[in-house]
């Protein structure tokens, strides 16, 4: 029947943040979304997470979506414990809570969302899908920092990486587009070929990952989402000596300086005008020097990181762009490809100009290394994981 849910049933996908709850009702088989929206102003006029989730579930009921297959939640930090999505039980809730110190802005809000659904719909299966899980395959050489050992053993200081749900979706789709089944694992059709991808997830937060045969082997984000690439408001990599230097020069606290690196740096800090790549690109085009510099630093650092990740892979088969900037900015893609010609990448300008958020596809000329645009869909990945785990024998 047209528009009816597939055999798995509909999944409620929830992204519970500190001030908003985004939701979508997703058919995991077809990707259709009969309902979606956002509850805002949590903690103030929008009430608690519980209030918001109750309103969302009432809205689903009012629209005849009473029977759900399950609820899938985005959870930011799964520490070293979770390398895959998981059905939520009390022990899983405790584990997520135990990682709250690693993601103090996110995990408590994610937990509040899960607890609110449990109260409003006792018995509805719930699944936690972690941003960090996909990167648990990184080897120690990629995830350890060269710092005193007890920082790792006592304080869990290591590189975790984020955007994992997006990387999983995009790398599987890219493998299919490139004719590599099973996300690029070696197979009968490709006996020796482990597909080596660098995926650049460029949204408000930006990171890139090295993915070999469908497994993450390196990524640019670390202990927190502040490491790595230049982002909308985050600095990405800086000299760690900068914090002590500025604390001494200005008398400001570590928390204050960290906040400036998180919320007043990146494209915003460099341009002095905006964290939005559209605004930066338009201003740079008009000749605004600070916007030009912001764009130059963004592209310089991105190209350098991609080349570093290619080294982590021991070679590169394809570079994949995704998320807001990756899917939409012809300019950023073009400039990055121009910088990476030495790796074997060559832009097809007509294809690059043609591919946007809805299309996706190849943007390189034929050559040893392909470049692709692949629109990401974290909601669909969460819905699929939820359907899979709800259906699995327990
Ligand atoms: P989030 O990380 O919050 O999910 P998105 O993936 O939607 O965000 O990415 C948002 C960013 O995408 C915006 O900050 C903007 O800079 C960028 N963006 C969106 N559309 C365009 C465009 N047409 N050209 C350049 N950048 C764009």
384 CA to centre of ligand 1 in angstroms: 25
60 CA to centre of ligand 1 in angstroms: 29
Residue whose structure tokens are 């990740």: 309
Burial 225-247 (b: 16+ CB within 10 A, else e): bbbbbbbbbbbbeeeeeeeeebe
**pLDDT given at position 2:** 37
- The verdict on the CB of residue 276 being under 6 Å from ligand 1 is yes
Dump pLDDT digits (tens) for 178-211.
988 655 555 555 545 799 999 999 999 999 999 9
Q: How far is CA 76 from the centre of its chain?
A: 10
- The verdict on the CB of residue 282 being under 6 Å from ligand 1 is no
Q: Taking phi first (over 0 means left), then psi (-120 to 50 degrees means alpha), and beta for anything else, what does residue 3 get?
A: left
* CA pair distance 167, 128, nearest whole angstrom: 17
170 CA to centre of ligand 1 in angstroms: 17
Percent of the chain with pLDDT over 70: 94
Question: Averaged over 346-373, what is the pLDDT?
Answer: 87
Q: Let me know if 131 is a catalytic residue.
A: yes
- Catalytic, out of 27, 131, 218, 288: 131
* CA pair distance 194, 306, nearest whole angstrom: 18
Atom number, ligand 1, closest to the C-alpha of residue 332: 25
- The verdict on the CB of residue 203 being under 6 Å from ligand 1 is yes
Dump pLDDT digits (tens) for 126-146.
999 999 999 999 999 999 999
- The verdict on the CB of residue 324 being under 6 Å from ligand 1 is yes
Of the pLDDT bands very low, low, confident and very high (cuts 50, 70, 90), residue 108 is: very high
């Amino acid at each position: 029947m047209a528009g009816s849910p597939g055999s798995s049933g509909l999944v409620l996908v929830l992204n519970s943040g500190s001030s908003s709850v985004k939701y979508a009702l997703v058919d995991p088989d077809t990707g259709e979304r009969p309902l979606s929206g956002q509850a805002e102003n949590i903690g103030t006029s929008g009430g608690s997470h519980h209030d918001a989730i109750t309103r969302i579930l009432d809205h689903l009921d009012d629209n005849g979506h009473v029977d759900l297959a399950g609820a899938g939640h985005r959870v930011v930090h799964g520490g070293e414990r979770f390398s895959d999505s998981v059905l939520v039980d009390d022990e899983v809730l405790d584990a997520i809570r135990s990682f709250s110190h690693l993601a103090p802005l996110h995990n408590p809000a994610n937990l509040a969302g899960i607890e609110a659904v449990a109260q409003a719909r006792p018995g509805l299966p719930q699944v936690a899908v972690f941003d960090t899980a996909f990167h648990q395959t990184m080897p120690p050489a990629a995830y350890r920092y060269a710092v005193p050992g007890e920082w790792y053993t006592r304080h869990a200081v290591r590189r975790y990486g984020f955007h994992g749900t997006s990387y999983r979706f995009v790398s599987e789709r890219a493998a299919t587009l490139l004719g590599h089944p099973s996300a690029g694992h070696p197979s009968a059709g490709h006996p020796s070929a482990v597909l080596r991808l660098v995926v650049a997830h460029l949204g408000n937060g930006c990171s890139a990952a090295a993915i070999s045969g469908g497994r993450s082997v390196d990524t640019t984000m670390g202990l927190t989402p502040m490491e790595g690439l230049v982002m909308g408001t985050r600095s990405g990599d800086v000299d760690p000596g900068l914090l002590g230097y500025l604390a001494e020069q200005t008398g400001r606290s570590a928390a204050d300086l960290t906040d400036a690196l998180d919320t007043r740096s990146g494209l915003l800090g460099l341009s002095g005008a905006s964290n939005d790549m559209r605004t930066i690109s338009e201003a740079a085009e008009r000749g605004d020097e600070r916007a030009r510099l912001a764009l130059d630093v963004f592209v310089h650092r991105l190209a350098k990181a991609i080349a570093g990740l290619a080294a982590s892979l021991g070679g590169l088969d394809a570079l994949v762009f995704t998320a807001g900037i990756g899917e939409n900015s012809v300019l950023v893609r073009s400039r990055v490809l121009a910088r990476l010609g030495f790796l074997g990448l060559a832009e097809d300008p007509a294809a690059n100009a043609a591919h946007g958020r809805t299309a996706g596809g190849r943007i390189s000329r034929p050559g040893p290394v392909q470049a692709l645009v692949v629109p990401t869909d974290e909601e669909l990945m969460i819905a699929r994981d939820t359907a899979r785990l709800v259906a699995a024998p327990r």
